[in-house]
Amino acid sequence: MSNYSQNIWFNGEVIPFNEARIHILSHVIHYGTGVFEGIKCYNTPNGPAVFKLKEHMVRLHQSAENYKMSIPFSVEELCYGTIELIRSNSLNNCYLRPVAYYGYDTLGVHPKNCPVEVAIGTLDWGAYVGKEALSKGAKVTISPWKKYQSESFPASTKSSGTYLNSLLAVQDAKSKGFDEALLLNLDDTVAEGSGQNFFLIKNGIFHTNDKDANILMGITRETVLQLINDLGMEYKISNITKDDLFNADEAFFTGSASEVTPIRKIDEHTFSNGKAGKLTLKIQELYYNIVRGKEPKYESWLTYVN
């Protein structure tokens, strides 16, 4: 438990960690009826700051609406609760996990009058894919599991139950000695990682896909697209084929937990001579400086705790 903090924000109150409990017959346990976010707080020269806090809480509400789940706290209340929680835990750096879910009323698939409960937790997660991967690049395998399609679930929604798809993919990858998995769609175009968006670089141009590829429209993905533009570089958005993948010069993942993680290898194909790519590291460095409050131009993306 050492990476968790002493308090949790639970249904509007900051309470001790061990008191944040739900009933074993809660709807979410049986059917995965929850939505969540991953957010990071970083230490900056002006104290701890949360990166794109409001954008994440807006998306939490949007995810809930896709499942007709009404969150009983506004975006502003959730943002305030987040800051209150970080202060109560005396943290400078942390990963934040807001979650909204159906609690206990019925065990029928239809949630009927199940209450919507909301919690925010903090933990010290470190480098999601692995510390070495951030500097040297991750080893990735194409998953035998396909990405679920938008016709089956709203793919742009960050919902608890759908992550069973990601769990299968990353378990398979780890069992084979890889750091992460890359999921393909039914037509063998690239979707995303188990919890990350995917980019490749060819001849200095960045390429990524969009909602047509059944991906989560990531907040870090959107950030990176703006940074590419701000640096005077070019990007293109379209479906990515296996041929595109194996002809690329560089590749990387993006995500709130993964940040900007270079990829040095996908199965037997090696990028950048087996190293993190130079353009990838350029984006990564700018991103790290922004989230740590070292780029005044982007300070509006930070919500300071103090």
Between CA 102 and CA 116 the distance in angstroms is: 5
Residue 183 CB partners (closer than 8 Å, separation 6+): 143, 145, 146, 147, 165, 166, 169, 191, 192, 193, 194
By three-state DSSP, how is residue 74 classified? coil
289, two tokens: 């400086």
Distances (CA, A) of 62 to 56, 237, 299: 10, 23, 25
Residue 277 CB partners (closer than 8 Å, separation 6+): 137, 201, 249, 250, 251, 252, 262, 271
Q: How far is CA 67 from the centre of its chain?
A: 19
Distances (CA, A) of 262 to 77, 220, 230, 291, 293: 36, 14, 20, 18, 22
Count of beta carbons in the 10 Å neighbourhood of residue 268 = 7
Give the closest residue to 112 by CA, choosing from 124, 103, 122, 99.
Answer: 103
Which phi and psi angles does 243 have, rounded to 5°? -60, -45
Strands 234-237 and 205-208: parallel
Between CA 230 and CA 232 the distance in angstroms is: 5
Instruction: Give yes or no: 136 in active site.
Output: no
**Residue 41 identity (one-letter amino acid):** C
The catalytically annotated residue of 52, 139, 147, 158 is 158
Between CA 24 and CA 184 the distance in angstroms is: 35
Q: Which residues are catalytic?
A: 158
